[in-house]
Amino acid sequence: MKRQRGFLATFLLAAFTVLSGALAHASPSRAPPDRPFKLVALGDSLSAGYGLPDSAAFPNVLQRALRAKGYKVEIANAGLSGDTASGGLDRLDWSVPEGTDGVILELGANDMLRGLDPAVTRRALETIVQRLRARGVPVLLAGMRASRNMGPEYGERFEGIFRDLAQSYDLVLYPFFLDGVAGERGLNLPDGIHPTAQGVERIVERMLPTVERFLGRLGVRS
């Protein structure tokens, strides 16, 4: 009888160990309580803060806004001016290092401005999402709209990328990164494309509830 109880205890301990390891592998990454939750903003010039001081770049402004609300977060700026979705994929491993707890994915604007085939953009963004998911790194997807001069067919194919990926992979989606800023002369630099510091503040203000929902899904509380 004692031998049977000993065998049962050993079996249950082994099963629990295997199950715990499987759950840990399947669960998204979580920051331990003694360090900040680490996000990476993987994007192009809109994340990098083209024409602005570092303090006015999107990741830094968002980090300040979240900390003001009590979130213990750090946001690394992995924005690269001129980058396409394929470029982001090429540099994914070193742009999103080990220890990253979540990614804000903001890519695609340069693909659209260059008139690249939306199928190419879709494949690159989807591969980024898949590779991050395999690493247990959750993604908040920031969408982009096509310029009207690209035509309605191109616009629908391009904008559909973000809706489809969010649905297919159950991603938190912010539909249009430049919402409230695009086309507003006073909120953009003279090139009419990149936001001013005030424009970035508006982006963060409008995007903040979505970012909070993303953090809440991951169990991060203020």
Measured distance CA(151)–CA(144) in Å, rounded: 15
- Give yes or no: 194 in active site: yes
- Give yes or no: 147 in active site: no
**Catalytic residue chosen out of the listed positions 29, 168, 194, 222:** 194
Measured distance CA(167)–CA(144) in Å, rounded: 16
Measured distance CA(160)–CA(145) in Å, rounded: 9
**Catalytic residue chosen out of the listed positions 25, 86, 191, 222:** 191
**Catalytic residue chosen out of the listed positions 44, 45, 47, 83:** 45
- Give yes or no: 25 in active site: no
Residue 19 burial class via C-beta count within 10 angstroms: exposed 0-12, middle 13-18, buried 19 and up: exposed
The residues assigned a catalytic role are 45, 191, 194
